[in-house]
């Protein structure tokens, strides 16, 4: 069940602004290893659902990440292939980052903690059944 939009225009505007910031950070998270992409996109969807039906519709029908958001919101989970790609990219960027900050072991611990946390989260998500034609 989707949340009802807020009736106050100023509160709706705040939800749209928060959703847009979250979406922008999620897009940055595609390239920066410490920003969690999918959770930020899910937060954007939740904010848009409260603030603007038009923005919410645009987001959940977006060709790049709309399907993932729709599957997650419906409780279907994520496709195994998407989860595995995410884990590979996550650990590759974390290892690259660890190499880049090789003289700061405390950052290694932080990167490893983020990697383990995100890996546990992703492994616990339900896997969506995907048609062979998709």
Kindly give the confidence (pLDDT) of every residue in the chain, 134 residues in length, as a single tens digit, with 9 standing for 90 and above.
456 666 788 899 999 999 999 999 988 888 876 677 877 888 999 999 999 999 999 999 999 878 878 888 888 887 788 788 888 888 888 888 888 888 888 888 998 998 999 899 889 888 877 655 44
31 in Cβ contact with 40 (< 8 Å): no
Residue 67 structural domain: 1-74
- For the packed helices 105-124 and 80-100, what is the interaxial angle rounded to 10 degrees? 180
Q: Is 50 in the same domain as 105? A: no
Tokens for 53?
A: 């039906």
42 to 20, 34, 45: CA distances (angstroms): 12, 17, 5
- Domain identity same for 108 and 54: no
Residue 69 CA to residue 77 CA, distance in Å, equals 9
For every residue of 51-82, DSSP letters joined together read: H-HHHHHHHHT-TTTHHHHHHHHHT--EEHHH
Instruction: Give me 81's structure tokens.
Output: 């292939």
Same-domain status, 109 and 53 = no
Residues in the chain: 134
Question: The whole model's pTM is what?
Answer: 0.63
Is residue 33 located within the same domain as residue 86? no
Are residues 30 and 67 part of one domain? yes
């Amino acid at each position: 069940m989707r949340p009802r939009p807020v009736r106050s225009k100023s509160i709706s505007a705040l939800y749209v602004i928060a959703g847009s910031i979250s979406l922008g950070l999620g897009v940055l998270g595609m390239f920066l290893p410490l920003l969690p992409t999918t959770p930020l996109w899910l937060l954007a969807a939740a904010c848009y659902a409260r603030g603007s039906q038009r923005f919410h519709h645009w987001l959940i029908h977006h060709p790049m990440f709309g399907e993932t958001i729709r599957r997650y919101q419906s409780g279907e989970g994520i496709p195994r292939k998407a989860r595995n790609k995410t884990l590979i990219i996550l650990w590759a960027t974390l290892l690259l980052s660890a190499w880049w900050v090789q003289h700061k072991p405390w950052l290694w611990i932080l990167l490893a903690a983020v990697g383990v946390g995100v890996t546990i989260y992703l492994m616990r998500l339900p896997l969506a059944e995907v048609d062979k034609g998709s």
